[in-house]
Structure 1
Amino acid sequence: MERISQESQEGQASQERHERLTFRLDPELTPAFLDELTRLWADVSNAGGAIGFAGTVTYEEVRPETDRYAESLAAGRHRLLAGLDAAGRLRATAFLGFNTHRLQGHWAWLTTVMIDPSLQRGGHGRALLDAAEEHARALGLEALKLTCRGGLGLEHFYASCGYKEVGRVPGGLRVSADDYRDDIMMWLPLH
């Protein structure tokens, strides 16, 4: 019986990984949506995701960051691309952060790129980046820039999606008292 249950769970996980997401720019920031965003962020962080935290985090630690994004979205400094499953649940995000400097208005930052851990390795990351690129072009942007944490191979994934490494600060990120990682900057021209 336990073996059947385990096989059933593995089959469900495989099906989930290949479920198609619908990407929506600027979904309504209801309290329920902000709660989903906070939970997704904590889940991704706790699964080893490199999205602003190191080690295990709680909902309460992540929520202030979610609220800061909500304020920035309301002020028009960011746009949110949300990946929703067939039931309308938030399963992926990418934020477009706009520059205020007059010489940098032609490109945006791509930040807080997250895929629900249960969906990873199913092509959703690439689909999310494709959707972000499409929306950035529609917004008139000429390039996207992001940073990623070294030591996890993330730069290889982004490179496979067309991003080029344009800078690296050795040891620029301290994830614990004795664990320093490179801060890697990547660039994607949109023309």
Structure 2
Amino acid sequence: MPLTFTLDPAITPELRDGILDLWTDVTNAGGAVGFVPPVTRDEIRPGLVRQFASMVEERSRLLVGHDEEGRVAATAFLTSNGHPLMTHWIWLYTVMVHPRHQGKGHGRDLLAAAERAARTLDGVEAIRLACRGGLGLERFYASCGYKEVGRVPGAIRVAPGDDRDDVIMLLPLT
């Protein structure tokens, strides 16, 4: 079943809890979304609060995918670049699909929905994201049209002795 995507949904306690559950489950399944497993919802919560604050300040927009049961199944944050010389592109952060929905094409659907949303934003000519190397994520993003435009070797320390590349990907919209 396809996911239903909504840009800028109302932030309700149910949505907040659904995103916390998603972020926790994705991290604990090995997803590269800013944390290293094991994590709890309480460890994730400050990151989500920061994202919500960015939305209140109108620097970020939330894209949510719900499954057929109405559960939060996917998210991405489209975040403007605060640098005055770089307002022509946006960041895509916290790109997640719940493990129970992975392998069904929902990641591609999420990225397509993010691209559609970005195309509605005035002056936005590209989407930029960063991903953790060593997991094959750059191959997935490349298969969705993103191009690797930079790499910082060993920039992400997952654990002592386990450094990963920070891979920067870009999707031109023009």
User: Distance between the aligned counterparts of 2:12 and 2:37, measured in 1?
Assistant: 28
Aligned residue for 1:173, secondary structure, equals: strand
Matched with 2:21 is 39
* 1:150 to partner: Cα distance: 0.5
User: Which residue number corresponds to residue 137 of structure 1?
Assistant: 119
Alignment of 1:92-171 (within 5 A): 92-140=74-122, 141-171=124-154
Count of matched residue pairs = 173
Pairwise CA distance, 1:70: 1.1
Runs of 4+ in structure 1 deviating by more than 3 angstroms, as ranges, are: none
Using the aligned pairs only, state the percent identity.
58
- 1:116-173 alpha-carbon deviations (Å, 9 max, x no partner): 1000000000000001001100113110000000000000000000000000011010
* 1-structure distance, mates of 2:173, 2:53: 28
Extract unaligned runs of 5+ from structure 1: 1-18
Alpha-carbon distance in 2 for matches of 1:83, 1:106: 26
Name the Cα RMSD after superposition.
Answer: 0.8
Distance in 2, Cα, partners of 1:32 & 1:123: 25
Unaligned runs of 5+ in 2: none
- CA deviation profile, 1:35-91 (whole Å, cap 9, x unmatched): 111110000000010000012101110011111111111111100000011232211
Structure-1-length-normalised TM-score: 0.89
Q: Could you say which structure has the larger radius of gyration?
A: 1
Normalized per residue, which structure has more helix? 1
Q: Which stretch of the first structure deviates more once superposed, 160-169 or 81-90?
A: 81-90
Q: Which amino acid aligns with 2:169?
A: M
Question: Aligned partners of 1:84, 1:36: CA distance in 2, in Å?
Answer: 10
Residue of structure 2 in register with 1:7 after alignment = none
Task: Give the letter for the 1:55 counterpart.
Answer: P
CA–CA separation in structure 2 for the residues paired with 1:47 and 1:28: 28
Q: Which residue of 2 aligns with 1:8?
A: none
Query: Which position in structure 2 is the counterpart of 1:6?
Result: none
Q: Distance in 2 between matches of 1:89 and 1:118?
A: 11
